[in-house]
Amino acid sequence: MATTKISHTFVDHSKEKTVVTYHAAAIAADGSNWDDVVTDVASVLALTGTAINAITGLNETKASVSVPDYAEYALSYPAYGHDREIAVRFSYQDDVTLDLYRFDIPDPIDIFLDNSDEVDMSSATVVALKALVDSVWLSPAGNACTLISGRKVGRRN
């Protein structure tokens, strides 16, 4: 099954970029679900972007959508000051094939359990992200998926 690939690009204090990528429903041939996936204020892109931005301290500079044609918009307020070298790595699972996938969100806010690198999955910002992943994200195979866990990680340069 085809999917729409969505990416959010962030920049850190050293002006290095990092990207968070995920999949959503394919855009219908007649474009009838374009607003639901991409442009509406309650679209997958908008709601997931808000949820990711609530977790990271970095500034988003661009969101991209691969439909199969490539469309993107650039945000007009690139500012620098945070660090992308620490990230939160979330794991999610395809509900059908049980394949595991992951994505990283750079420069996370404090969403971790006390004295742990594990994400507090009951944190309000994480609950919001989980609701989106579980309801509108698709695996690369096109199946529904479930957000399983998160962990603090370092990033390679």
Dihedral sign of CA atoms 24, 36, 28, 45 in order: negative
At 17-58, the pLDDT tens digits run 999 999 999 888 888 999 999 999 999 999 999 999 999 989
Radius of gyration of the chain (CA): 15
Encode pLDDT of 63-98 as tens digits. Answer: 999 876 544 555 555 556 666 678 899 999 999 999
Alpha helices in the chain (DSSP H): 34, 44-55, 124-136
Tokens at residue 36, please? 């639901």
- The H helix count followed by the E strand count for the chain is 3, 7
pLDDT tens-digit map of 100-148:
999 999 888 889 999 999 999 999 999 999 999 999 999 999 999 999 9
Would you say the pTM of this structure is higher than 0.75? no
